Structure 1
Amino acid sequence: MLTVDFTTLGIRAGQRVLDLGCGAGRHAFEMYRRGAHVVAFDQDAAELENVATMFAAMDADGQVPSGASASTLTGDALDLPFPDESFDHVVASEILEHIPEDEKAMHELVRVVKPGGRVAVTVPNWLPERVCWALSDAYHEVEGGHVRIYTAVELLTRLRKAGLQPVHRHHAHALHAPYWWLKCAVGVDREDHPLTKLYHRLLVWDLMQRPWPTRVAEQLLNPVLGKSLVLYLRKPEAGIA
């Protein structure tokens, strides 16, 4: 399930891209399929082993264009081990809400993207996230959990301060918001509750079949109930405001 729209981001074959805080690798895999030179970066070494295994499987299965490459690297988002202006694009999906020193992480991702390059940042959307926090402390009060809820204005202000210019924004995954509200209401660690199991089956069916009624419904609901806020930003070129 992708949150970032890579057509909007402008990914092209041969470009060098960073998936910052890649997690299980969903965005890194798609960029690899599009022929990019991908670096999947995360602090979770065990998760990165799985990502590397999938990269190898994709290559062996012929899913990757000739010339594309993919690698994994463990590290800290507050101290990226890359020279300035190393990447054409950076994706930072659902990571900033986990980082206490988020402005430092923003400055680091701006540092490593080339002038004229684009950055995609996604965070939990304010309203659905606020409902989750109201329903359950366990949802966010865990090690490595969410430390803040961004408003769109607050996030844009911080990213502008870090040196980025907004290009476009949208919301995604409205159908997932009620699932997390249910999880928070019945217990985030409960995997056996019939309501959450039923809703999860609906989400899997929708992901696999993509029927038009749910696609239209999600598009209509996304502006209000979209689980994720997605921002696309540009690093200005030297001398261009």
Structure 2
Amino acid sequence: MTYKDLYLQKNRGYFVGNARYEIIKQIPNNKHNKVLELGCGDGATLLELKKINKASFVAGIDIMDFQQDNCLDKFTLADIEVIDDLPFPKEYFDVIICADVLEHLKDPWEATKKVVWYLKKDGIFIASIPNIREIKTLYDLIINNDFKYVEAGILDKTHLRFFCKKNMIDLFNSSDLKIKNILRIPNTLSKKRILLNFISFGLFREFFVTQYLIIGIKK
């Protein structure tokens, strides 16, 4: 079984119909934005950006084709780690999105450097990355002696790399990106977790994060 076969086993809903509104909120209100998304699925996030006039040109890259009616301005069927060059000039894009993509790559550090080449100076690079320090994941590992891969989530069976917040920051820093903001997902806590966070003087806060949304600016 190939790595791509693992993807083909996933439910179609994993790839389509999921516009990432928490990412859309981080993109400046500029109808002239050119936006590239790695792992774009059916392009739901990109199409929403055009719909609300936050982009004039949207392009996507994915290893599988879920496009309908050629809805994106440009779609490239490719593996970002294999393809030598993308069909765009240097510093073409204002925004590049990697939503739940980097953890699926063999070498996310080199892949990030590769795509940042196509980002304008002061352009925005947005990535969402699962947090391996999430409390349930750690509990299963430490208490239950269980590192069980699942269909979706932090231990998704198609994940090749795992990150803590510090490693995510290091990845951005090594790719000529200056961190602008880091957001937690989820950003709200249950009453029980609020109490735990309070009595630990904030020490537990990072254990309640499923993934981080990191916004960087190209230097």
When the two structures are superposed, what TM-score results if normalisation uses the length of structure 1?
0.63
- Structure 1: gaps (5+ residues): 56-68, 175-214, 237-241
Letter in 2 for 1:152: K
Partner of 1:161: 174
State the shift of 1:8 in Å: 2.7
- Give matches, 1:1-241, under 5 Å: 2=20, 4-35=22-53, 36=55, 37-45=57-65, 47=66, 49-50=67-68, 52=69, 55=71, 70-78=73-81, 79=83, 80-81=85-86, 82-128=88-134, 130-131=137-138, 134=146, 136-139=148-151, 140=155, 142=157, 145-173=158-186, 217=190, 224-236=207-219
Measured in 1, the distance between the counterparts of 2:29 and 2:79 equals 24
CA deviation vs aligned residue, 1:154-201 (integer Å, no higher than 9, x gap): 111121111100000111247xxxxxxxxxxxxxxxxxxxxxxxxxxx
Measured in 2, the distance between the counterparts of 1:41 and 1:14 equals 20
Identity %: 17
Instruction: Give the aligned CA root-mean-square deviation in angstroms.
Output: 3.0
Measured in 2, the distance between the counterparts of 1:138 and 1:77 equals 24
CA deviation vs aligned residue, 1:108-132 (integer Å, no higher than 9, x gap): 1210100010110111122338357
- In the alignment, is the contact (CA less than 8 A) between 2:133 and 2:206 conserved in 1? no
CA deviation vs aligned residue, 1:74-100 (integer Å, no higher than 9, x gap): 122233413211101100110000001
Count of residue pairs the alignment pairs up: 177
Measured in 1, the distance between the counterparts of 2:96 and 2:189 equals 29
**Whose relative contact order is higher, 1 or 2, with alpha carbons under 8 Å and at least 6 apart?**
1
State the shift of 1:223 in Å: 5.6
- In the alignment, is the contact (CA less than 8 A) between 2:24 and 2:45 conserved in 1? no
When the two structures are superposed, what TM-score results if normalisation uses the length of structure 2?
0.68
Letter in 1 for 2:180: V
